[in-house]
Amino acid sequence: MPSAYEAFHKAIREIGQLGSIEGLLDWDSETIMPDGGLSARAEQISLIATLAHERRTSPTLGELIEQLDSRVDDPIEQSNVSEARRMYERASRVPAELVTRLSRVSVLAKEAWGKARAGSDFPAFAPHLSELVNIKRHIADLIGYKGERYDALLDEYEPGMTSAQVEEVFTALRGPLCEFVRRLAHAPRKPDSSVLHRNFPRAAQESFARHLAEAIGFDFSRGRLDVSKHPFCGGTGPADVRLTTRYYEDFIAPSVFGVLHEAGHGIYEQGLPEAHMFTPAGQAVSLGIHESQSRLWENFVGRSREFWEGMYGACQRAFPDALGSVSLDAFHGAINTVSPSLIRVEADEVTYNLHIILRFEIERALIGGTLEVRDIPAAWNGKMRELLGVSPPNDAQGCLQDIHWSAGMFGYFPTYALGNLYAAQFFEAALRAIPNLRDELRRGQFAPLLAWLRENIHQHGMRYRAGELVHRVTGAPLTVEPFLRYIRTKFAPIYGLNIT
Residues classed as catalytic: 262
- Distance (Å, rounded) from C-alpha 401 to C-alpha 405? 10
- Whole-number Å distance between alpha carbons of 288 and 318: 34
Q: Residue 105 or residue 239: which is nearer to a second copy going by CB? A: 239
By C-alpha distance, which of 444, 473, 99 is closest to 292?
473
In the complex, least distance from residue 9 CB atom to a second copy, rounded to whole angstroms: 14
Cβ-based nearer residue to a second copy, 237 or 392: 237
- For a second copy, the closer of residues 24 and 326 by Cβ is 24
Q: Which CB, 41 or 93, lies closer to a second copy?
A: 41
CA atoms of 85 and 79, how far apart (whole Å) = 10
Please, which residue, 238 or 392, has the CB nearer to a second copy? 238
**Phi and psi of 118, rounded to 5°?**
-60, -40
Binding residues vs a second copy (CB under 8 A): 14, 17-18, 20-21, 24-25, 28, 32-41, 43-44, 47-48, 51, 219-224, 235-237, 239-240, 277-278
358, 380 Cβ separation under 8 angstroms: yes
CB of 8 to a second copy, least distance (A): 17
The C-alpha atoms of residue 430 and residue 88 are separated, in whole angstroms, by: 36
Other Cβ atoms less than 10 A from the Cβ of 118: the count is 10
Count of residues in the chain: 500
Helices (H), 36-193: 38-56, 59-68, 75-92, 96-118, 122-143, 149-157, 163-185
Nearer to a second copy, 167 or 219 (CB): 219
Q: Which residues contact 432 (CB under 8 A, 6 or more apart)?
A: none
- 368/426 Cα distance (integer angstroms): 32
Helix (H, G, I), strand (E, B) or coil at 1: coil
- Report the distance separating Cα 115 and Cα 122, nearest Å: 10
